[in-house]
Amino acid sequence: MLQIKAEVADALATGRPVVALESTLISHGLTYPANIEIARQLEEIVRSEGAVPATIAILDGRPRIGLDEAGIEKLAQGKDIRKVSRRDIPLVVALQQNGATTVASTMYLAHRAGIQVFATGGVGGVHRGRLFDVSADLPELAQTPVIVVCAGAKSILDLPLTLEWLETHGVPVLGYGADEFPAFYSRSSGLPVDARMETAGDVARVWRAKQELELAGGLLIAVPVPREAEFAASEAEAAIETALAAAEAHGITGKDITPFVLAEVARLTEGRSVEANMALLRNNASVAAQIAVACAGGM
């Protein structure tokens, strides 16, 4: 069922480090040509750190673990690319559609392929004012054994409730060079992490201990946005509150809230939120590759 790119399959077979990358940011997160540029950059960054990139998507009904240039181009400019979470995978496969994977579906397919480390921007979480509106990313973290490297949860979410959910379901949240959980655009949220990790080797040791203890689920590594790309939490919060009010006024709910609010925040901040997003994506890819190398015994 899985179509694994030859380079990725060889790396997995020989125990070399591999980093999974999502494809939703290509089809639904950024516009062309910025989307294809960041997709290429992330793969190049992973390679520069000594790991093999595996961008994941579903093309013509086949889950693809690692894409060629044509595949990335198709996601970047293609029409009717479905946003695929875990529940959508069998539908897109059976109907032979094209789909860009979210955090949840990328985790699932990465694990099926044998990939242990995944780099993304920010994970989903509990929506503000909607206690039971929980992203599929969270239960995936609780059940699928993959290290997820991110810049925290998207700051448009309820971060305290998101961390409570992760604690209740046994998902360790580790700060990479940080004592606080980052708030995506901002380096600090005022919320503590479970432990601070200084190096990729530290993360690898925690991961090995978790596996040896046969504890289910993944590991969330929270990496603050690079300092030069950060903007003040108060400024970000003001834009988010305005965007959320606009979403409510337009009657936007469910899975449509996040893309609408992110687009509004980008407009309100005159593109600075997009610049921060690009910077943290690049940084997360670098950290994830270092962790993958450490897990493979290279550090």
Supply the pLDDT for residue 261. Answer: 76
Alpha-carbon torsion (104, 106, 111, 117), positive or negative: negative
Domain enclosing residue 39, as ranges:
1-115
Asked if pLDDT for residue 35 goes beyond 60, the answer is yes
Q: Are 157 and 299 contained in the same domain?
A: yes
pLDDT band of residue 51 (cuts 50, 70, 90) is very high
d(CA 21, CA 103): 9
Q: Are residues 188 and 162 in the same domain?
A: yes
Q: Are residues 104 and 166 in the same domain?
A: no
- Judge whether residue 257 has pLDDT over 80: no
Q: Could you give the CA distance from residue 81 to residue 275 in angstroms, rounded to a whole number? A: 24
- Work out the average pLDDT over 164-178: 98
Instruction: Give yes or no: residues 127 and 78 share one domain.
Output: no
Confidence class for position 255, pLDDT limits 50, 70, 90: low
Same-domain status, 146 and 225: yes
Give the domain CATH number at 2: 3.40.1790.10
CA distance 298 to 178: 24
pLDDT tops 80 at residue 125: yes
Number of domains present in the structure of the chain: 2
Alpha carbon distances (Å) from 137 to 122, 174, 283: 10, 17, 21
Q: Check 5, 74, 83, 154 and give the catalytic one.
A: 154
Of the residues 58, 89, 115, which one is the last residue of a structural domain?
115
- From the candidates 22, 43, 230, 264, give the one annotated as an active-site residue: 22
More confident: 259 or 242:
242
Q: Over pLDDT 70: what percentage of the chain?
A: 98
Per-residue pLDDT of 53-104, as tens digits, reads: 999 999 999 999 999 999 999 999 988 899 999 999 999 999 999 999 999 9
> In this predicted model, what pLDDT tens digit does every residue of 206-234 receive, in sequence order?
999 999 999 999 999 999 999 999 877 77
Say how far apart CA 33 and CA 81 lie, in whole Å.
Answer: 16
CA 32/CA 179 separation, integer angstroms? 36
**Are 200 and 77 in the same domain?**
no
Token pair for residue 90? Answer: 């069998």
Cα 151 to its chain centre, rounded Å, is: 8
Q: For the chain, what is the mean pLDDT?
A: 93
Q: Give whole-number Cα distances, 30 to 56, 251, 274, in Å.
A: 17, 23, 8
- Judge if 104 and 149 occupy the same domain: no
Whether residue 296 sits in one domain with residue 226: yes
Query: Which of 115, 137, 156 represents a domain boundary (last residue)?
Result: 115
- 214 and 282 in a common domain: yes
Domain boundary among 64, 96, 115: 115
> 22 an active-site residue?
yes
260 and 233 in one domain? Answer: yes
Residue 217 DSSP code: S
Q: Is the peptide bond before 33 cis (omega within 30 degrees of 0)?
A: yes
Q: What is the pLDDT of residue 231?
A: 79
Strand ranges inside the chain, DSSP E: 3-4, 18-21, 52-59, 62-65, 82-84, 99-101, 117-119, 126-127, 130-134, 147-150, 173-176, 195-197, 219-222
Q: What's the pLDDT band for 298 if we cut at 50, 70, 90?
A: low
Q: Are residues 59 and 207 in the same domain?
A: no
Say whether both 251 and 298 belong to one domain. Answer: yes
Cβ-based burial of 141 (10 A; exposed 0-12, middle 13-18, buried ≥19): buried
Neighbours of 255 (CB within 10 A): 14
